[in-house]
Amino acid sequence: MTTLPLSTVPNDTAPVTPSGSDPAGPGSLWPATTTERPHGQVLVGGVALSEIAEGHGTPVYVLDEAEVRGRCRAYRAAFPEAEIHYAAKAFLCRALAHWVEEEGLGLDACSAGEVELAVTTGFPADRILLHGNAKSPRDLAIALRLGVGRIVVDTPAEIARIAAAVGSGGRQKVMVRVTPGISAGGHRKIRTGSDDQKFGLSLRGGHAEHAIARVLEQPRLELTGLHCHLGSQITDVGPYLVAVRRLVGLMARVRDTHGIALPELDLGGGHGIAYRPGDPTLDPARLAAGVRTALAESCAVAALPVPRLIIEPGRAVVGPAGVAVYRVLAVKRTPGRTYVAVDGGMSDNPRPALYGVRYAPRLIGRHSPADAECVTVVGRHCEAGDILADDVPLPADTHPGDLLAVPVAGAYHLAMASSYNLVGRPPVVAVLDGRSRVLVRRETLEDLRARDVGL
Q: Would the annotation count 312 as a binding residue?
A: yes
Which residues, 6 or more positions from 288, have their beta carbon under 8 angstroms from its beta carbon?
78, 79, 82
Q: Would the annotation count 412 as a binding residue?
A: yes
pLDDT band of residue 87 (cuts 50, 70, 90) is: very high
Inter-axis angle of helices 156-166 and 207-216, nearest 10: 20
Q: Over 80: is that where the pLDDT of 186 sits?
A: no
Q: Would the annotation count 351 as a binding residue?
A: yes
Rounded Cα distance between 70 and 333, Å, is: 42
H/E stretch holding 108 reads strand 106-109
CB atoms < 10 A from the CB of 245, how many?
A: 15
Look over the chain and give the mean of its residue pLDDT values, rounded to a whole number.
90
Q: Would the annotation count 292 as a binding residue?
A: no
Percent of the chain with pLDDT over 70: 90
Q: Could you read off the pLDDT of 276-322 as tens digits, one per residue? A: 999 999 999 999 999 999 999 999 999 999 999 999 999 999 999 99
Is the CB of residue 166 less than 8 Å from the CB of residue 172?
yes
CB atoms < 10 A from the CB of 73, how many?
A: 16
In the residue annotation, 299 being an active-site residue is answered as no
Q: Would the annotation count 313 as a binding residue?
A: yes
* Section 171-191 average pLDDT: 73
Give the pLDDT score at 18.
37
Q: Would the annotation count 102 as a binding residue?
A: no
Q: Over 70: is that where the pLDDT of 185 sits?
A: no
Q: Could you read off the pLDDT of 212-257 as tens digits, one per residue? A: 999 999 999 999 999 999 988 999 999 999 999 999 999 999 999 9
Give the pLDDT score at 2.
33
* Section 12-33 average pLDDT: 56
Q: Would the annotation count 193 as a binding residue?
A: no
Q: Could you read off the pLDDT of 351-410 as tens digits, one per residue? A: 998 888 889 999 999 999 999 999 999 999 999 899 999 999 999 999 999 999 999 999
Rounded Cα distance between 305 and 255, Å, is: 11
pLDDT band of residue 190 (cuts 50, 70, 90) is: very low
Percent of the chain with pLDDT over 90: 82
Domains in the chain, ordered, with CATH? 6-64+320-450 (2.40.37.10), 65-318 (3.20.20.10)
Q: What burial class does residue 57 get, using C-beta atoms within 10 Å of its C-beta: 0-12 exposed, 13-18 middle, 19+ buried?
A: middle
Q: What burial class does residue 184 get, using C-beta atoms within 10 Å of its C-beta: 0-12 exposed, 13-18 middle, 19+ buried?
A: buried
Q: What burial class does residue 131 get, using C-beta atoms within 10 Å of its C-beta: 0-12 exposed, 13-18 middle, 19+ buried?
A: buried
Q: Over 60: is that where the pLDDT of 5 sits?
A: no
Give the pLDDT score at 10.
30
Give the pLDDT score at 183.
57
Q: pTM for the full model?
A: 0.91
Q: What burial class does residue 306 get, using C-beta atoms within 10 Å of its C-beta: 0-12 exposed, 13-18 middle, 19+ buried?
A: middle
Which one, of 271, 408, 394, lies nearest residue 342 by Cα? 394
Q: Would the annotation count 219 as a binding residue?
A: no
Give the pLDDT score at 317.
98
Give the pLDDT score at 398.
98
**110, 228, 299, 382: which is the annotated catalytic residue?**
382
- Alpha-carbon separation of residue 307 from 244, 267, 298, 299, 312 (angstroms): 11, 12, 11, 9, 16
Q: What burial class does residue 297 get, using C-beta atoms within 10 Å of its C-beta: 0-12 exposed, 13-18 middle, 19+ buried?
A: middle
Is the CB of residue 11 less than 8 Å from the CB of residue 278?
yes
Q: Over 70: is that where the pLDDT of 1 sits?
A: no
